[in-house]
C-alpha cells in the first residue's frame, strides 16, 4: 500500500511477536531511510518528527495493529483481505496487478517481488 503495509506472520509458538515486529520495523526502516537518503528524496521531509526532544526520520508508527488468527480459515481470510486491499483502494483493477502483493506468488506467477516462506510441516 502507499501509506501502510499488511503482513500475515505466523511465528513459532515460542516466539514473541512483539520482538519479531520490532526487529522487522528496525531493519526495514534502516534500509528504506538509507535508500531515500541516497536518492535525496523529498519524502524524507515528510518523515521528520520530534521524538525524545530530537528531530529524526521516522518511518513506522510506534505500534502495530494486530489481528490474532486462531485457525487456518482465519489466516486465509487475513491473506485474502491483504490481497484485495489495493483493489478496494482503487490502486489496481485486480489483486494480482499489485506488484507488491503475495497474490502473485499464490497464483504461481513467475515475476514476483514478494516471495512467501511457507513451512511445509
> Are 5 and 38 contained in the same domain?
yes
Residue-wise pLDDT tens digits, 51-90: 889 998 888 888 888 888 888 899 999 999 999 999 999 9
What is the separation of C-alpha 16 from the centre of its chain, rounded to a whole number of angstroms?
A: 18
> Are 46 and 84 contained in the same domain?
no
Beta bridge partners of 68: none
Residue-wise pLDDT tens digits, 10-23: 888 888 888 888 99
* Among candidate residues 63, 79, 113, the one where a domain is terminated: 63
> pTM score, two decimals?
0.73
CA 118, CA 102: separation in Å to the nearest integer? 12
> Are 43 and 82 contained in the same domain?
no
> Are 59 and 90 contained in the same domain?
no
What pLDDT does 119 receive?
Answer: 62
> Are 6 and 44 contained in the same domain?
yes
Domain count, the chain: 2
> Are 93 and 108 contained in the same domain?
yes
CA 69, CA 51: separation in Å to the nearest integer? 33
Residue-wise pLDDT tens digits, 30-46: 998 998 888 878 888 88
Q: Are 108 and 32 in contact (CB under 8 A)?
A: no
Expressed as residue numbers, the domain containing 29 is 1-63
Amino acid at each position: 500500500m502507499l501509506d501502510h503495509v499488511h503482513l500475515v506472520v505466523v511465528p513459532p509458538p515460542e516466539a514473541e511477536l512483539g520482538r519479531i515486529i520490532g526487529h522487522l520495523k528496525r531493519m526495514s526502516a534502516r534500509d528504506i531511510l538509507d535508500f531515500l537518503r541516497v536518492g535525496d528524496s523529498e519524502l524524507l521531509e515528510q518523515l521528520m518528527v520530534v521524538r525524545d526532544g530530537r528531530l529524526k526520520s521516522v518511518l513506522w508508527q510506534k505500534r502495530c495493529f494486530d489481528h490474532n488468527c486462531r485457525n487456518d480459515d482465519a489466516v486465509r481470510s487475513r491473506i485474502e483481505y491483504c490481497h484485495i486491499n489495493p483493489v478496494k483502494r482503487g490502486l489496481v483493477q485486480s489483486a494480482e496487478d499489485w506488484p507488491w502483493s503475495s497474490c502473485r506468488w499464490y497464483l504461481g506467477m513467475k515475476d514476483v517481488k514478494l516471495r512467501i516462506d511457507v513451512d511445509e510441516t
